[in-house]
Amino acid sequence: MFEVMWTDDIMVEFQYHLRKKNPFLDDAQCGGVRRNLEDTFASGRVRNFTINPDGHYPDIVTLMFIAQPSMRRQTSF
């Protein structure tokens, strides 16, 4: 029903925020979570893509908050 797609940039962002929120996690806790996600969703890795410098890529989180203001209380990043 759903297909998880991710890039290295997405994983870096995820790990940065996980570490920022939990600075005392050891490698197995922080890096291990990333490795488990990568192993579990290996077929969803997106590579060799290009970015159109003329394109407009809105921040999906900002759009989500604009569309659903009530989610601000429920979502924690």
pTM: predicted TM-score of the whole model, two decimal places: 0.62
User: Are 33 and 18 within 8 A, CB to CB?
Assistant: yes
CA distance 72 to 57: 21
**4-51 pLDDT, tens digit each:** 999 999 999 999 999 999 999 998 888 899 899 999 999 999 999 888
> What pLDDT sits at residue 71?
53
